[in-house]
Structure 1
Amino acid sequence: MPELPQLGGDGWESLYLDGEWKTREDRLAVEDPYEREELASVSAASEGTVDEAYETAAAAQTEWKGTPPQERAEVIQNALGVIEERHEELAELLAREAGGTRLKAEIELDIATGMMELAASFPLSSPGQHDRSVTPGKENIVKREPVGVVGVISPWNFPFHLSMRAVAPALALGNAVVLKPASDTPITGGLALARIFEEAGLPEGLLNVVPGRGSEIGDRVAGHEVPRVIAFTGSTPVGRGVASQAAKALSEPAMELGGNNAHIVLEDADLDQAVDAGAFGSFVHQGQVCISINRHLVHESLYDDYVAALADKAQSLPVGDPKDEETIVGPIINESQRDQLAEYIEETVNEGATLEAGGEFDDLLLEPTVLSGVENDMAAACNEHFGPVAPVIPFSDDEEAISLANATEYGLSGSVHSIDRERAERVADRVETGMIHINDQPINDEPHVPFGGVGASGIGRYNGDAIKDELTTTKWISVQREEREYPF
C-alpha cells in the first residue's frame, strides 16, 4: 500500500479532480505555524477548475446513487481502515500544518472516525415511508433520495474532522462532493481525505478537492448552479456571504458559524470542577474552536477564587512545539489571527480589565491568558476572539447571568455549573443556544447528536439523523390502486 505523501516533499503539489492528481501553475504555500517553514506548495484551483469539479461530480453521482447500499457502506469502512493504519501520520500532519497538539489531534481523529462509523450505517438505515391517503384507493410512498452534489467549504481549526463530517455522510447517502479546504490547511482539510478515499476504493469523480484562496474561488464554489447543498463551517461574516451565494443558486445552505459561548458558574457550583472545565474549554487547541469558551460568567461570591484558580491553571500549561506530546498550547494559526488577538487583549486592558495571567507572545505562541474585571462589552468578550484568552465577568444572580449570556448575536454552545441540577437546567433552558452542557464545558461533539447553533451561529444541523435530513431530499410518489372517480 503506498505511503501518504510526507510533508516537506513533493507529494502534495497536486489537487484532486476526477480521480486524478493534477498540477496547476498557481500555488498555495503551506507553512508550519510553529517552525515557520514552508511544508508544501499546493496547486491552487481556478474558477474553471471549480466548474470542472462540479461537472465531474454531477456525472459520477448519477451512477453512484444507484450503487447497492452495502457497497457505499464498504467504501466508508475501508476509509476508516486507512485512517487507523495512518493514525500516526495524520496526527503529525495535523501538528505540522494546523499547529494542533497531540491531545488535539487525538480528539479530532476520534470525533472524525466516530462520525464515519455512524455514516457507514446510513446506506442501510435511511428508508422512506408509506403514508395513508385521503383519497380512496390511493397509496402514498415517500422516498428519501440523495440531493446530488454537495459543495463543502471547511475551516482550518479542525480541518480533518470538519471536512469529514460532511464528506463521509454525503458519500454514504449517495451524493458526490466538491471540497474546498481552507487555504491554511489544504492538506489535512482536503488532500489527505482524497488520498484516504482513493485508497478506500471510492469510484473516480465522486470526491474532488479544489484548494484555493476564498477570495478567488469561494464565491464560485458557494454560488455554482450544480450543488444542491453547500456545507460551510467558518466565521459568521464569511458565512453570510456563502449563504447568500448559495441562496442565489437555490442551493440549501448548511452553515455552522461563529460563537460567543458563555461558561456560567453559579454560586453553588463545585469550584474545582468549574475551573477545570473552564481551562479545558478556553485553552484546548489554543482556543481556536467555534465551541470554545469565549466568556466565563462567574457569580460574585466565587469570582476572586475562580479567577485565582484559573490563572494558576493557565500558568501551569506547557506552551510550545505541538509535536511535543507534553505541549498543551501550541501556535496560533497565522499572523492575522495573532494580531487580532493582541489587539483584543490590549483593548480590553485599556478598557479597565486586569491581566491576571499570560498575555505574552513569542512569534505565533500566546501564553494562556486570563483577564479579570471584564465587562460584557469589552473587546475580548463581545467579539469571538478565537484564541487562548479567558475573560472573566462577574454576575450577581441567575437573571443577570442569563441576560449576560444572551447579550450577543451568537447562539452556538455554552455551559452551566451548579450542584443543583434542576436549577442548572432552568438556567440552561433560558440561554439562547443550539447546544448547552451542564457541569461540563462547551467543547462537545458526539456523532449521533444534532450539532449546530441559532441566530448568527448558523443554519441547519450536523451529525446523526440531522445530517441525513441536510444531505437528502424527499420524493412523494402516489399510487392510485383503485379506479378513481373525478367530478368531471
Structure 2
Amino acid sequence: MTDLPLSPESGWNALYLAGEWTAADDRDSISVENPYTREEIATVPAGTEADVDRAYEAAAEAQASWARQPPQARAGVISAAIEFVRDHRDEILELLALESGSTAVKSTAELQTARGMLQQAASYPFRMDGEHADSIVPGKENVVERRPVGVVGVISPWNFPFHLSMRAVAPAIATGNAVVLKPASSTPITGGLLLARIFEAAGVPEGVLSVVPGRGSEIGDAIADHEVPRVLAFTGSTEIGQRVARQAAGNCTLPALELGGNNVHVVTENAALERAVDGGVFGSFLHQGQACISINRHLVHEELYDDYVGMLADRAANLPTGDPTDEDTIIGPIIDESQRDRILEYIQTTVEEGATVETGGGHDGLVVEPTVLSDVDNDMAAACNEHFGPVAPVIPYASDTEAIELANDTIHGLSGSVHSEDLDQARTIADRIETGMIHINDQPMNDEPHVPFGGMKQSGLGRYNGESILDELTTTKWLSIQREPRKYPF
C-alpha cells in the first residue's frame, strides 16, 4: 500500500475529482485554522459548482462497473482502508487535534469509532443477499434482489469530521455505490481530503470517490439539489437539514438526515448519585459539548437536585482546559468565534432569565469554561436551544410524569439517558421519552457501528450503522420468471 504522509504540511491544496488530485488553480482558497492558536495550518481549494458537476458525472460513470465487482474485491478495498487507518493512527490523531480542536480523549474515541464503521462496512458486500418468494400465479418464480442505489452525496459536519464522514462513505463504497463528499469548510482535511488519501491508497477505482471541499453557502445547494445522487446523506443542524431534504426530495433523492438534538440526562430520586454525575460530566463536556448527542439538559429530581448541582459544578470546575494537543486537556477550543459567541449569548441570556452560574461562564480565546447553570427551567435559552457547548443547565423536577413532559417538550428527539437503581422505573421513563436512542444508567454520547443510530421528530430521517445503513444505501428489485405458460382472462 502506498505510504502517504498525512501531516498538515503534506500538501492539501487540491481537490480529489474523479480519481485525480486537481490543483487549486484560479479557485478561491479556504484557510484551515487551528481553533486553539488561530494559526493557519493549511489551505484547500474552494470547490465550484462545476467541480460538483464533474464529480457527480464521474461517479455516475464509475458506479456500474464498481457495482459489478465481486464482493471480495469491494471488501478488500475496505480492509485496505482499515489497514491504512491503523498504520497512520498517530498522524490522524494529530490532524484531528490541529484542525478540529479535538482533545486526546475525543480524537482517540473518534478514531476508534471510525475504524469500527470501516470494520462493519467490510462485511456489507457479503450481506447484500436477496430472497425467493412464492408467487400467487401458478408456474411463476419471484426473486427479490438487493442492489446499490447508484450515487450517494454526502455532506458532513465539523464536530466529528472523520467519524461522521466515514460512517456514510465507507458503507456506500462497500455496497457498490459511488460517492461525492463535501466536508465542512472548517474541517476539509479530516472530514474529506484525508478520506480521499485513505481510499486512494486502498485501491478504490477512479471516479468511485470524489471529495469537493467548499463553503456550504457556495456549493451546498449544488450538492443537495443535483439530479445524479439517489441518496443524500447529511449531518448537521435541523434548519439546514430541512433545506437539504426539500432539495433532495425535489429530485426524488432519498434524504438520510441526522440533525440536531436537545438531549436530556434524567436523574431520578433512585439514582446512584456519583454514577449519575460521572455520566453527566462526560456527556456534557466531551469535545466541549460540540456533539448532537451530548447532554443539553440535566433533569434532576428535587430530592437530589442540590447535591447533584454541587457535585457537577465541582467536577466541571476541575476539568483541565487549554491546548488540545496537551494529553491532559479535557476542554479544548470551540471551533470558531461565531460558535463561541452563540454559546456565551445563551449563557448570558439564561442568567438574565433567572439562572445561577455555579461555575464557569467565561472564556479564554475560543476556550469556553465548562459551565454549570442552576435554577434553570425548560424555557430558558440554554435549555430550549441546542447550545452545542460546554454548558450544563440543571432543571429540577418533582415526579416521573413531569420529567417525561419536560424531556418531550422540544422539537428534537435524538438521544438521552435515565439514571435509576430501580430498572423498572428507568425503563418506564425511557420508553415514554420521544427519542431515537436512550441509555439507562449511562449518558447519551454512545455510538456503536452495528446498532441503529438516528432520531425522531426534527432530529432526522433514517438510520445509520448496521443493517439500517445497508437498507438506506441499497434498493430492492423484484424479478419474476414465468416458467409455465400463463392463462390470462382475455
State TM-score, norm by structure 2: 0.99
Q: Deviation per CA, 1:103-134, whole angstroms, max 9, x where unpaired? A: 10110011111111011001011201111111
| Contact 1:370 1:389 survives alignment (8 Å) | yes
Counterpart in the other structure of 1:96: 98
- Per the TM alignment, residue 434 of structure 1 is displaced from its structure 2 partner at its CA by 0.3
| Contact 1:28 1:44 survives alignment (8 Å) | yes
Counterpart in the other structure of 1:403: 405
Instruction: Determine what percentage of the aligned residue pairs are the same residue.
Output: 66
Residue 276 (structure 1) aligned to one of 278, 293, 317:
278
Letter in 2 for 1:40: A
- Per the TM alignment, residue 3 of structure 1 is displaced from its structure 2 partner at its CA by 2.9
Q: Is 1:21 aligned with 2:21?
A: yes
Q: Deviation per CA, 1:365-409, whole angstroms, max 9, x where unpaired? A: 011100000000000000000000000000000000000000000
Q: Is 1:360 aligned with 2:347?
A: no
- Per the TM alignment, residue 326 of structure 1 is displaced from its structure 2 partner at its CA by 0.5
| Contact 2:6 2:92 survives alignment (8 Å) | no
Alpha-carbon distance in 2 for matches of 1:168, 1:336: 32
Counterpart in the other structure of 1:185: 187
1:433 aligns to what SS in structure 2?
coil
Counterpart in the other structure of 1:344: 346
Q: Deviation per CA, 1:263-292, whole angstroms, max 9, x where unpaired? A: 000001000000000000000000000000
Counterpart in the other structure of 1:80: 82
Residue 223 (structure 2) aligned to one of 218, 221, 224:
221
Alpha-carbon distance in 1 for matches of 2:64, 2:148: 10
- Per the TM alignment, residue 296 of structure 1 is displaced from its structure 2 partner at its CA by 0.0
Q: Deviation per CA, 1:439-488, whole angstroms, max 9, x where unpaired? A: 00000001111000011100000000000000000000011111111111
Alpha-carbon distance in 2 for matches of 1:329, 1:361: 11
| Contact 2:235 2:259 survives alignment (8 Å) | yes
Q: Is 1:32 aligned with 2:34?
A: yes
| Contact 1:5 1:12 survives alignment (8 Å) | no
- Per the TM alignment, residue 10 of structure 1 is displaced from its structure 2 partner at its CA by 5.5
Alpha-carbon distance in 1 for matches of 2:361, 2:92: 31
Count the aligned residue pairs.
Answer: 487
Alpha-carbon distance in 2 for matches of 1:126, 1:427: 37
1:338 aligns to what SS in structure 2?
helix
Alpha-carbon distance in 1 for matches of 2:131, 2:225: 33
Q: Is 1:172 aligned with 2:179?
A: no
| Contact 1:4 1:195 survives alignment (8 Å) | no
- Per the TM alignment, residue 5 of structure 1 is displaced from its structure 2 partner at its CA by 3.8
Alpha-carbon distance in 2 for matches of 1:196, 1:32: 22
Letter in 1 for 2:31: A
- Per the TM alignment, residue 308 of structure 1 is displaced from its structure 2 partner at its CA by 0.1
2:428 aligns to what SS in structure 1?
helix
| Contact 2:6 2:91 survives alignment (8 Å) | no
Alpha-carbon distance in 2 for matches of 1:193, 1:395: 46
Alpha-carbon distance in 1 for matches of 2:458, 2:23: 38
Residue 313 (structure 2) aligned to one of 311, 314, 317:
311
Alpha-carbon distance in 2 for matches of 1:10, 1:320: 26
- Per the TM alignment, residue 360 of structure 1 is displaced from its structure 2 partner at its CA by 1.1
Counterpart in the other structure of 2:53: 51
> Where does structure 2 lack aligned partners over 5 or more consecutive residues?
none
Alpha-carbon distance in 1 for matches of 2:357, 2:308: 14
Structure 1: 4+ residue segments shifted above 3 A: none
1:340 aligns to what SS in structure 2?
helix
Counterpart in the other structure of 2:63: 61
1:156 aligns to what SS in structure 2?
coil
Q: Deviation per CA, 1:166-214, whole angstroms, max 9, x where unpaired? A: 0000000000000000000000000000000111111111110000000
Counterpart in the other structure of 1:465: 467
Counterpart in the other structure of 1:426: 428
| Contact 2:101 2:324 survives alignment (8 Å) | yes
- Per the TM alignment, residue 4 of structure 1 is displaced from its structure 2 partner at its CA by 2.5
> Where does structure 1 lack aligned partners over 5 or more consecutive residues?
none
Alpha-carbon distance in 2 for matches of 1:403, 1:142: 44
Residue 379 (structure 1) aligned to one of 369, 378, 381:
381
Q: Deviation per CA, 1:318-370, whole angstroms, max 9, x where unpaired? A: 00110011001100000010000010000000000000011110010011100
Counterpart in the other structure of 1:332: 334
Letter in 1 for 2:16: Y
Alpha-carbon distance in 1 for matches of 2:164, 2:368: 24
Alpha-carbon distance in 1 for matches of 2:435, 2:303: 26
Counterpart in the other structure of 1:2: 3
- Per the TM alignment, residue 75 of structure 1 is displaced from its structure 2 partner at its CA by 0.2
Residue 123 (structure 2) aligned to one of 117, 121, 124:
121
1:144 aligns to what SS in structure 2?
strand
Alpha-carbon distance in 2 for matches of 1:237, 1:250: 20
- Per the TM alignment, residue 62 of structure 1 is displaced from its structure 2 partner at its CA by 1.3
Q: Deviation per CA, 1:223-257, whole angstroms, max 9, x where unpaired? A: 10000000000000010111111011110000000
- Per the TM alignment, residue 151 of structure 1 is displaced from its structure 2 partner at its CA by 0.1
2:308 aligns to what SS in structure 1?
helix
| Contact 1:412 1:433 survives alignment (8 Å) | yes
